[in-house]
Amino acid sequence: MVTAQRAIVLGGSGVESLERFTQNQRIIEEFVSQWLVAIPTALGRLAHVAMLRDIYTGRYHHPILQDAYSEPAVHQSLLYCHEELFEKVLENNFEQQEWDLRMCFAGMDAPPAEIAQRWLEVELFRLFVPFGTPPYLRDLFCSNMRVVLGLLVSEQALVHTAA
């Protein structure tokens, strides 16, 4: 006996959806194993995926993945990754978010306080929010980033004052 759920999967659009799901799963697995695994922090991974999005069109692009998969499939898969990574960052407590940001800055070629000041000035972190994110989640993320960045800037100011 065929269940209603199985009949939907076996129907024309159901099979197409299952194939699309399988393809997207392969793209996500390849993206994570080839590019994200080397990035040690959740915030760093979020920043990486966010930078793959064209801010004018909202489309995600990855030239290497698009050599093997269609542009719409790559877009859909990277959008999913972006949303999941954004949620993961927000699920972390404030101290973990602070640690992630400090670790991201530790690998850069400028002092953390300078980077933090620039990020605050242009609010670069706003680009890390996926399009369509509910305003309350966007505001929470941006507020947390402002506070952590402010801590980094004020720590440097205290060091200069004490010197």
Q: What sign has the CA pseudo-torsion 52, 48, 107, 161?
A: positive
Domain limits, the chain = 25-162
Q: Is 136 exposed, middle or buried (0-12, 13-18, 19+ CB in 10 A)?
A: exposed
Q: pLDDT for 113-122, tens place per residue?
A: 999 999 999 9
Task: List CB contacts of 130: < 8 A, sequence separation 6 or more.
Answer: 50, 79, 82, 83, 86
Q: pLDDT for 38-79, tens place per residue?
A: 999 999 999 999 999 999 999 999 999 999 999 999 999 999
pLDDT band at 8 (very low <50, low <70, confident <90, very high): very low
Distance CA 99, CA 151 (A): 12
